[in-house]
């Protein structure tokens, strides 16, 4: 059935996007190491327009505990520093007029546990998004059967295939979560 294949293909694409989104969110959670991804969510008020930091500056990792932010436009350095200070990443910027340095402190045991809770929350949001996609697609499959455009066997096969896609997507999120959790707990 062409309609069923289309529905399943659409669901698979949407699930893959949810997995990628969850991976991206997990990458922005701070661990004990410096990673340019920590600053991905930061937006800077640049001449009155909220602009992503990575469009205004080059973010580099100098060593395991230091990030450097080099603005393309030196006049934006104050705005970038303020955006980093006001964000939820908990880093204090130091600015020498040309670039901003972000020293990444060691994580305490308590902070590591908090971070693990945060990544579990991010992963759960991803799982919920995937289950919502499954629910919507199941609803569409039942509509097709009700309208007589698909037989019961076709619907059952499609539901089994959809469940398999759902399980695979959730497994991908779980493996990303496991990797991030190990990275956070690593001392």
CB 97 within 8 A of CB 78: no
The CB-based long-range contact list for 40-45 (8 Å cut-off, 24+ gap) reads 41/87, 42/83, 42/84, 42/87, 42/89, 43/83, 44/76, 44/79, 44/80, 44/82, 44/83, 45/79, 45/82, 45/83
Residue 125's SS3 state is helix
The residue-averaged pLDDT of 30-38 equals 72
Q: Which fold has domain 36-103?
A: Gyrase A; domain 2 (3.30.1360)
Cα 37 versus chain centre, distance: 10
Tell me the CA end-to-end span of the chain in Å, nearest whole number. 53
pLDDT over 90 for what percent of the chain? 27
pLDDT at 36: 77
Strand partners, 172: none
Residue 19's SS3 state is helix
Cα 25 versus chain centre, distance: 2
CATH 1.10.132.20, applies to 2-27+108-185 = yes
pLDDT at 112: 82
Any idea where the domains of the chain sit in the sequence? 2-27+108-185, 36-103
pTM: 0.68
């Amino acid at each position: 059935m062409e309609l069923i294949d289309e529905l399943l293909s659409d669901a698979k694409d949407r699930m893959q996007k949810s997995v990628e989104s969850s991976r991206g969110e997990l990458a922005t959670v701070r661990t004990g190491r410096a990673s340019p991804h920590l600053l991905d969510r930061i937006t800077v008020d640049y001449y009155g327009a909220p602009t992503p930091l990575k469009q205004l500056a080059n973010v580099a990792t100098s060593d395991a505990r230091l990030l450097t932010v080099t603005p393309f436009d030196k006049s934006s350095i104050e705005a970038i520093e303020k955006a980093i200070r006001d964000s939820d990443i908990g880093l204090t910027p130091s600015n020498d007029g040309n670039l901003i340095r972000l020293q990444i402190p060691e994580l305490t045991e308590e902070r590591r546990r908090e971070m693990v809770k945060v990544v579990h929350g991010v992963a759960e949001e991803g799982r919920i998004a995937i289950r919502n996609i499954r629910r919507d697609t199941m609803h569409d499959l039942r509509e097709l059967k009700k309208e007589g455009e698909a037989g019961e066997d076709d619907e059952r096969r499609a539901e089994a295939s959809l469940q398999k896609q759902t399980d695979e997507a959730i497994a991908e999120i779980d493996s990303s979560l496991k990797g991030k959790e190990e990275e956070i707990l690593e001392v």
